[in-house]
Every structure is written in C-alpha cells, then in structure tokens.
Amino acid sequence: MFFRGSNKSKINWREIANENDLANLLVLSNDLPCLIFKHSTRCSISTMAKSRLERNWEVDINLAPYYLDLLNHREISDKIAMQFNVVHQSPQVLLISKEKCEYNSSHNEISFSKIKEKIL
C-alpha cells in the first residue's frame, strides 16, 4: 500500500504492516536500497523527524521509502531490531541494502543528507 505522509510530503511511503511486507522489502533491497522509518504517531520528536525527512526528500533519489507505525505494529519493529541487530528506537531510520542494515539513526540525528551520503 502506498500513501502520502502529508500534503507537503514528497515521499511515496510503502507501509510495513506485516512480516510479508518486511520480506518484500528484503527482496527489493537486493536491487534498490530501502529506507525504513519507524514512527510513533504519539511522539512529537518522531513527528518532527518525519516532517524534516519529508521536507528534504529528493524525489529522484534511488531509494525505496518504507514506513512502520510502531503503535500498530510493534511486533514488526521488534523483528526488525532482531533481524538487523539494532537497538529499537523511535523514531528511527534504517538503510537496508542487500538484506543488511548499512546505516541506522534515531531521534534528532535523522537527516536526509546523512542518508543520501550513505547511498551515493
């Protein structure tokens, strides 16, 4: 499922709502880097990080953006933490390439420019 995060968003988010969505992301990551944004809809820091990412996003970047709603899918977040050997945080971004986490960041450290550096 694709959806826009807001009217100002340049990101066509792909939702992670179950293990099948995560499995599809892993397959895609062999051909295209994938970004997972783990978001708590009740957290103002998470909302700010998401907004900043959406404002700075470049539509022509070669990156598939995925969105995980932590309040509704915490079990998937736990699976992601275990699978990629990262500590669960919120908000958090993970850059997945070739089925491995190449970069992760959280809270105010989430930056499109840092993500972009990792994929170029």
Omega prior to 33 cis, within 30 of 0:
no
Which fold does the domain 2-111 belong to in CATH? Glutaredoxin (3.40.30)
Local confidence band at 59 (pLDDT 50, 70, 90 cut-offs): confident
Taken in order 20, 47, 94, 59, is the CA torsion positive or negative?
A: positive
DSSP for 51-96? Answer: HHHHHH--TT-S-EEEEEETTT-HHHHHHHHHHHT----SSEEEEE
Q: pLDDT digits over 8-58, tens only?
A: 578 999 999 999 999 999 999 999 999 999 999 899 999 999 999 999 999
Domain spans, the chain: 2-111
